[in-house]
Amino acid sequence: MSDIIVKYSELERVADAAKLEHPIFREAFALLGMDGHGLELASMADIPAGTGLGSSGSFHHRVAQSLARAQ
């Protein structure tokens, strides 16, 4: 099986989605019951973390929606 690659301010390459350090990506895979093998995901954002603008919730929604479409 091929690894999962997730790029954001860090680069993660893991064999299992449950081993991802990024909590939003990890939990989105778990929510959908996906292993993520062979996927490469990248995130780029202009809003810094901790701004209180609801960006984390919006980001999680889009990640889950995109993964659901990829199933």
pLDDT digits (tens, 9 = 90+) for 10-19: 999 999 999 9
pTM: 0.79
Q: Which two tokens stand for residue 26?
A: 């990890």
Measured N-to-C along each axis, helices 23-32 and 55-70 cross at an angle, to the nearest 10 degrees, of 40
**How would you list the strands of the sheet with 40-42, edge to edge?**
11-14, 4-7, 40-42
Measured distance CA(54)–CA(47) in Å, rounded:
10
19-53 confidence digits (pLDDT tens) = 999 998 999 999 999 888 888 989 887 777 677 77
Is 71 a residue whose pLDDT tops 90? no
